[in-house]
A and B are shown apart, each in its own frame.
Chain A
Amino acid sequence: MLAAALAEVPALPLHTAGKYVAGAYIVLFVLVLIYVAIMAIRLSRIERDLGELLSVSESAAPDGPPPAPASPASHDPDRESAPA
């Protein structure tokens, strides 16, 4: 299937200018990749901050209603929240 598709695709003249064209498109790809990596770092920082805030809010409520029992089902997003 892939071989048949490649046979239909016209051959690219990569002999002389190929490295320059590849370099230009790789630059764009790398820039986007760097940005995605930066966003991933930021996301992990946000996750850490939210975790800290959650622990602060739990410690700031000693006389409040007791927290719900930490059953595995309540923390596992993949499991159904309502019993069958």
Chain B
Amino acid sequence: MEAQSRRVAGSSETKNRRRDGAVMYGRGLPTLSIATVVAIAVSLSLVFFYAPLEAEQGFLQKIFYVHVPLAIIALCGFVLGGLLAIQHLRTRDPRWDMRSYVVIHMSLIFAVGTLITGSIWAKGSWGHWWVWSEPTLVSFLIVFLLYATYQPLRFAIEDPERQSRYASVFAITAGAFVPANFIAVRLSTAYLHPRVLGSTSNLPASMALTFLVSLGALSLLFATLCKYELTAKHTRSQIRALRRRLDGGDAGAPARARSAVPSLQHLTTSGAGPVVSAPAAGSSAR
């Protein structure tokens, strides 16, 4: 009984890990959330009450202050997911896999926002929701569809170790495809789609400032949502570990249900260091 209560309370290593902040994903979350809200409020104020109307498009151009930052952050997030996946393959630490998964997951949501806001702008400007002859639109859709297969790929692999490895390889390959795709579109000859980022230096100072503030605000939103996601997933895995311990240890624990979400069971059950190569406890290896 005493041993069990000691296990439930957590080992000294676990306590140290919590104290040193290595696995405390929720640390700094309130500050980040407040900074995000303030930045978004400032950004919206600048967009609607400070930035001048664009000569050709008029009020419709205000969409770009949300559409372009969403697209930039989504694409950068995909690349970042690949970099985190490289770190996962180097260290075999499942936490890097979790970070890569969360960043790609959030980038996918931002990409949905990009596609919808872009379609709304296209309808207002071109009179069509979608133009298949426009390379920027189609290439972004291809990138989106490529990453839409990330979750099904993870779900299709039952063994957590193999799942994380294959997902990392996918994230690296697709992450390398993103800048290549971007450069290819830039080199294409059709220029129907406005080049907002390329002409930032030609923007009036007020427009450039508004654009940069919007980019910063949405980047903060991205970081905050990723942190929320990481904290929630880590808390869930900690609760699962606690449940296993209360149920009498890993031996009687039920097998982990198939999931696309990376497993952090190794860390929460053993309290071991970051380098883990063994499959998750309770997983059914093929």
Contacts and interface: CB of A to CB of B under 8 A. Distances in A.
Interface of B: 1, 4-5, 8, 44, 48-49, 53, 57-60, 62-63, 66-67, 70, 109, 112-113, 116-117, 120-121, 123-124, 221, 225, 228, 232, 235-236, 239, 242-243, 246-247
Contact of A20 (B8, B121, B243): B121
Given A14-B59, A53-B246, A61-B5, A28 B117 contact: yes
Q: Which secondary structure dominates where chain A touches chain B?
A: helix
A27 to B, nearest CB: 5
B27 to A, nearest CB: 18
Contacts, number: 81
Given A23-B120, A24-B117, A28-B117, A57 B246 contact: yes
Contacts of B232: 39, 42-43, 46
6 contacts: A13-B58, A17-B57, A49-B239, A53-B239, A60-B246, A61-B5
Contact of A53 (B120, B235, B242): B242
A28 B246 contact: no
A67 interface: no
A21 B1 contact: no
A54 to B, nearest CB: 10
Contacts of B57: 17
A53 B66 contact: no
Contacts of B247: 56
Contact of B59 (A13, A27, A35, A63): A13
B38 to A, nearest CB: 15
